[in-house]
Amino acid sequence: SDHVAIAIDGPAASGKSTLARQLAAKLDLIMVNSGEMYRAVTWKVLQDGIDPKDAEAVIAALVEMDIECSVAEGRSVVRLDGRRTGDELRSEAVNGSVSAVAAIPEVRNRLVEMQRGFLEFGNVIMEGRDIGTVVFPDTPFKIYLDADAGVRAGRRVAVGEVDSVEDRDREDSRRKTAPLQVAAGAAILDTSGHTIESGTEAALELLREQG
Ligand code: C5P
């Protein structure tokens, strides 16, 4: 398709979702949260009583899993067994297990294919860990977001998520398949000193330079 993808990657609490929402509104893009897809698989695995560290069992469950993605009101929606997912994907149980599930190559293969499929619906802005490196390596529009540890810690507290985040970042950065890293051609944007508005302006400027 001739649709365009903007890739936003970075660690937890770096401001990806906030920036993606702002840019999606300004540029009329479909906002896709790839983390929700990894969270949905993890939630289902836990629901079925499967050990998320047992890769073979997770893969067996994945084969049977009825997971679907679509677009509603300009953003991605994930369905499990036909039902729309919601806040349950943000539970501490999911936070604590999602990195193990996301490290399994078979899980990533299935979800990456679904993620690429969003381009059929229109121009997208997709946030995650491997969007610029793996999902859309050929897009010229890539931003790697970061923020200093103190700022990120404050944001985690604000969303009620403290303990698991550092472990997740470490696991997401060290895994063999599609680790979190700065993509070739990505512009690095540190949001520490930015407000939402100034960070969005800075990102727009970087995207203009990349186009
Ligand atoms: O973005 P969010 O923090 O909700 O993502 C949850 C988890 O999903 C991450 O910690 C990571 O393990 C996994 N993830 C991933 N690749 C992506 C997006 C998320 O591995 N593109």
ipTM for the assembly: 0.99
Q: What is the pLDDT of residue 164?
A: 73
Residue 17 assigned ligand-binding role: yes
Confidence of residue 156 (pLDDT cuts 50, 70, 90): confident
Does residue 132 have its Cβ closer than 6 Å to ligand 1?
no
**C-alpha–C-alpha distance, residues 55 and 2, integer Å:** 36
Compute the average pLDDT of residues 158-187.
89
Ligand 1 closest atom vs CA 42: 8
Q: Where are the alpha helices (H) located in 81-122, listed in sequence order?
A: 92-102, 105-117
Residue 18 assigned ligand-binding role: yes
Pocket test for ligand 1, best of 38, 46, 135 (most atoms within 8 A of CB): 38
Residue 132 assigned ligand-binding role: no
Does residue 97 have its Cβ closer than 6 Å to ligand 1?
no
Does residue 102 have its Cβ closer than 6 Å to ligand 1?
yes
Ligand 1 closest atom vs CA 169: 10
Q: What is the pLDDT of residue 45?
A: 98
Confidence check: pLDDT of 162 > 70? no
**9-58: pLDDT as tens digits:** 999 989 999 999 999 999 999 999 999 999 999 999 999 999 999 999 99
Residue 143 phi/psi, 5-degree rounding, is -125, 130
**102-154: pLDDT as tens digits:** 999 999 999 999 999 999 999 999 999 999 999 999 999 999 999 888 888 78
Q: Which residue has the tokens 């679904």?
A: 114
Q: What is the pLDDT of residue 163?
A: 62
Q: Which residue has the tokens 């540890």?
A: 149
Does residue 98 have its Cβ closer than 6 Å to ligand 1?
yes
**C-alpha–C-alpha distance, residues 182 and 152, integer Å:** 18
